[in-house]
Amino acid sequence: MTDTPKSTAAPEATENGAAGAGATGQTPQEQPSLRILGQYLKDLSFENPNAPHSFNQEAQPDIAVSVNVNARPLATNDFEVELHLDAKATAADKVAFAAELVYAGTFRLENFPQQLLHPAVLIECPRILFPFARQILAEATRNGGFPPLMLDPIDFAAMYQRRMQQQTVGEA
């Protein structure tokens, strides 16, 4: 085992001549950090109720997609965030396919000001999860015999703002 050398250098002066924060005993303001602790598939359901007849449809199916985000605290700085994606394709009043996906992640958010914590959990965390959930849904539809369902990017900030407005109206 070797000893690690200890620095004997004096703290560097900043442009205004003051010593660095370590020399004054003050700690610099910690920057907010968001870490991904894990990502996982919680639930996946794919139904193809009219196969093989659903593959013979001439008309382009109508596809309805709904998106929802839920979050819950696990510890002081840790949160589980769930991204719910539901897609249903109908053609000639018959269901071609129905897919439900819950993709989740655990995140550690440290040093966030209280007013920014809630939006970070419900905007930034699902934004990180979305590409993975999108890929799973695309593969499920492809494996179900349909062209891959490639979802457009989702504006989670606008979704969050609508949700907050609905809660404000509901409380009034």
Residue 165 belongs to some domain of the structure: no
Residue 34 belongs to some domain of the structure: yes
Residue 160 belongs to some domain of the structure: no
Please give the Cα distance from 54 to 57 (Å, whole number): 6
State mean pLDDT over 32-49.
Answer: 96
Tell me the CA distances in angstroms from 23 to 9, 10, 144, one per residue in order: 11, 9, 63
Determine the structural domain holding residue 127 and report its residue range. 30-149
Residues contacting residue 3 through CB under 8 Å, at least 6 positions apart: none
Residue 29: what pLDDT?
Answer: 67
Residue 157 belongs to some domain of the structure: no
| Amino acid (one-letter) located at 104 | A
The count of domains in the chain is 1
Can you give the CATH number for the domain in which 129 is found?
3.10.420.10
DSSP 118: H
**What 3-state DSSP class applies to 99?**
strand
The residue that leads in pLDDT, 4 or 45, is 45
State mean pLDDT over 94-116.
Answer: 95
Q: How confident is the model at residue 58 (pLDDT cuts 50, 70, 90)?
A: confident
pLDDT in tens, 124-153: 999 999 999 999 999 999 999 999 999 999
Residue 154, pLDDT > 80, answer: yes
Q: How confident is the model at residue 10 (pLDDT cuts 50, 70, 90)?
A: very low
State mean pLDDT over 53-73.
Answer: 89
Residue 168 belongs to some domain of the structure: no
Tell me the CA distances in angstroms from 88 to 2, 9, 71, 110, 164, one per residue in order: 63, 65, 24, 38, 27
Q: How confident is the model at residue 79 (pLDDT cuts 50, 70, 90)?
A: very high
| pTM for this prediction | 0.78
Instruction: Work out the number of other CB atoms within 10 angstroms of the CB of residue 128.
Output: 16
Residue 12 belongs to some domain of the structure: no
Residue 39 belongs to some domain of the structure: yes
The residue that leads in pLDDT, 57 or 131, is 131
Beta strands in the chain (DSSP E): 33-47, 62-73, 78-91, 94-110
Please give the Cα distance from 52 to 75 (Å, whole number): 48
Q: How confident is the model at residue 3 (pLDDT cuts 50, 70, 90)?
A: very low
Please give the Cα distance from 137 to 127 (Å, whole number): 16
Residue 63 belongs to some domain of the structure: yes
- Six token digits for residue 103: 């993709």
Residue 122, pLDDT > 90, answer: yes
